[in-house]
Amino acid sequence: MRILAVDYGDVHTGIAISDDLLMTAQNPSSIRTENDADAITRILKTAKENSVSKIVVGFPKNMDGTLGPQARKVQKFASELSAQFEGEVVLWDERFSTKAATRALIEGRVRRKKRRELSDGVSALILLQNYLDSLKGEQG
C-alpha cells in the first residue's frame, strides 16, 4: 500500500508518493495541467502506476480555520477525484506546507527560478510527510 499526496493548484499541481512501509514521502514532482479533468487523469495514472491505495489532498484552510475560495475549489476537485478513484481520498490541512517548502528551498540555496519549479512538488512532499507522521502517532 502506498499513499499519494496532491498539492492542488490552478496551473501546477504538486505530487509526492510514500514508500511501501508508509515511513517516508518521496519523489516530489509537479504536473502542469490545463484543467481539473486533465489533472485528475494524470493523478489517477500515477496512482495506478505506483499501486496507490489512498490519495491525500492538501486542504488550504484560512488561518482561523474557515474556508476561502481556494479551499472550496480543492473540495470540489477532491470530490471529483474521489468519484473516479477506487481507494480513499482524504483532505489534509496544508496551511504551512507551501511556506515550509519555500523556506527549505531557500535554505538549500535554490535559485528563485528553480524554486518556482520545485515548490509544488516539495509542498506535496511536506504535506505527505506530515500525514505519514500523524499515522505513526496514531499507531504508537
pLDDT per residue as tens digits for the range 70-103: 899 999 999 999 999 999 999 998 766 666 666 6
* pTM exceeds 0.95, yes or no: no
13 pLDDT higher than 90: yes
Residue 28's φ and ψ, nearest 5 degrees, are -65, 140
How far, in Å, CA of 118 to CA of 100, rounded?
13
The more confidently predicted of residues 111 and 116 is 111
Name the band, by pLDDT with cuts 50, 70 and 90, for residue 64: confident
- Cα–Cα distances in angstroms (integers) from residue 120 to residues 15, 31, 86, 101, 117, in the given order: 8, 9, 25, 8, 7
Question: How far is residue 34's CA from residue 36's CA, in Å, rounded to a whole number?
Answer: 7
pLDDT of residue 118: 67
What is the topology classification, in CATH, of domain 2-139?
Answer: Nucleotidyltransferase; domain 5 (3.30.420)
Cα separation, 100 vs 83, in Å, equals 31
* Domain boundaries of the chain, sorted by first residue: 2-139
